[in-house]
Amino acid sequence: MISDLSIASTNLSISNKRLKILYVGMKYDEGKPEQGYSFEHYNFYESLIKTGHEIIYFDFMTLLHKHGHSGMNQRLMEIVKSEKPDLMFTFLFTNELDPKIVREISENTDTVTLNWFADDHWRFDNFSCFWAPCFNWVVTTAESALPKYTQMGYHNVIKSQWGCNHFLYRKLDLPLKYDVTFVGQPHSNRRQVIEILVQSGIKVHVWGKGWNTGRLSQAQMIEVFNQSRINLNLQNSFMVGRRNNHAKRLASRCLDLIPYGDRVKIKSNELYNKFQNFLSVNSVLEQPKSHGQQNYAQIKGRNFEVPGCGGFVLTGKAENLEDYYRISKEVECFNNNDELINQIKYYLENEEERIAIAKAGHERTLNEHTYVNRFNEIFRKIGLIDQQIDSFR
């Protein structure tokens, strides 16, 4: 029955209990094998299999293409019933899963369900808020989303953060090759920022989908992190403080996720009623700031991956970054283009200081910011393991 799934485990163990985990995520980037493995495969799955737990891999996108939407979701239910996992760890993409099936697993089986929401900074109102009630627990990386979950009456929320798969992102014995590098797509204002640096006499090597140089493989990217004096992290921005005038449309979208025959029963659910109330007042709660919209940046995986490789990272400021690294001691930040130019020139000239920051950031990452640390803390909070055990390297 599970011939098109994979089961993996190792002899390593970081907890006092070996869990059976049904891992529900995409194996390939955007579900396309030609694009290589996905972010979550490299970081979540490959970290989970190092924890000593038994991992059942449910690649929902590949199974969707093979069995169709109904068939894939039915297989998910069958796997839960036959394998009886302790935890279903899910990393949603869009609406491939059937919310009725997820709720059935959450409410009527012994399997604890948990979803990691990736982009609550900008995706909460049009995605996360519809799906959260389907799961026993959710993880968010957005501090700003916590009061929104409370307002909708959902309380099993764990604030965690991206991290580093330190089994993959690691220091390599390679000589420095580049002064300044950037790996990522040229969306938002990134292309303009790179052009400003070039006009200032700074040579920057760039890679990623959308640049003429194209994408790097995972191995090549890690080599670049190791061989760069300065690794740039140009943050993504999201908008907050927007007036939400679409409460009725959002409520309708929530119902669209639920099969019509189940809506009468769902409407009687206390959590659903609280959610409806949240939508009705949301247009009042999210008033715009006096000077219009504000831009904030969210922490991304790159903030941890570069230090995990022992690299020096120069990053745009992000929400709560100082909670994870000491600024100017473990990572360095910039606020605007002028400051970015000055920081690059300064740290290219002051090698010892740059190396010291990179070393401190590397140590902090290995001690506190690996995905093994993240998962162990999450499993402890939801009661699947009794205590937190320090990560191994």
Enumerate the domain spans of the chain. 6-163+370-381, 178-238+294-368
**Number of residues in the chain:** 393
Superfamily of domain 6-163+370-381: Glycogen Phosphorylase B; (3.40.50.2000)
Give Cα separations from 342 to 228, 321, 348 (angstroms).
Answer: 18, 21, 10
Instruction: Please give the Cα distance from 202 to 344 (Å, whole number).
Output: 8
Please tell me the predicted confidence (pLDDT) of residue 273: 53
Question: Sorting pLDDT into bands at 50, 70 and 90, what band is 10?
Answer: low
Among 29-33, 97-101, 271-275, the minimum mean pLDDT is found in: 271-275
Task: Evaluate whether 114 touches 136 at the Cβ level (below 8 Å).
Answer: yes
Q: Is the pLDDT of residue 47 over 70?
A: yes
Q: Is the pLDDT of residue 335 over 60?
A: yes
Q: At what angle do helices 270-285 and 247-256 cross, to 10 degrees?
A: 150
User: Dihedral of the CA atoms 94, 157, 28, 393 (nearest 10)?
Assistant: 170
Q: Given this chain, do its domains 6-163+370-381 and 178-238+294-368 carry the same CATH topology? A: yes
Mean pLDDT of all residues in 81-97: 97
Mean pLDDT of all residues in 356-360: 98
DSSP 301: T
| 178-238+294-368: CATH, from 3.20.20.190, 3.30.479.30, 3.40.50.2000, 3.40.50.300 | 3.40.50.2000
Q: Is the pLDDT of residue 390 over 60?
A: no
Q: What is the pLDDT of residues 222-258, one digit of tens each?
A: 999 999 999 999 976 443 333 344 444 444 445 445 4
Among 35-44, 85-94, 274-283, 332-341, the minimum mean pLDDT is found in: 274-283
Please tell me the predicted confidence (pLDDT) of residue 7: 72
Place of tokens 């580049």: 178
Instruction: Quote the percentage of the chain above a pLDDT of 70.
Output: 79
Place of tokens 């010291």: 356
Mean pLDDT of all residues in 201-222: 96
Please tell me the predicted confidence (pLDDT) of residue 253: 47
Which DSSP helix (H) or strand (E) runs through 279?
helix 270-285
Which DSSP helix (H) or strand (E) runs through 264?
helix 263-267
Mean pLDDT score of the chain: 86
Edge to edge, the sheet with strand 178-183 lists 204-207, 178-183, 228-233, 313-316, 332-334
Please tell me the predicted confidence (pLDDT) of residue 187: 86
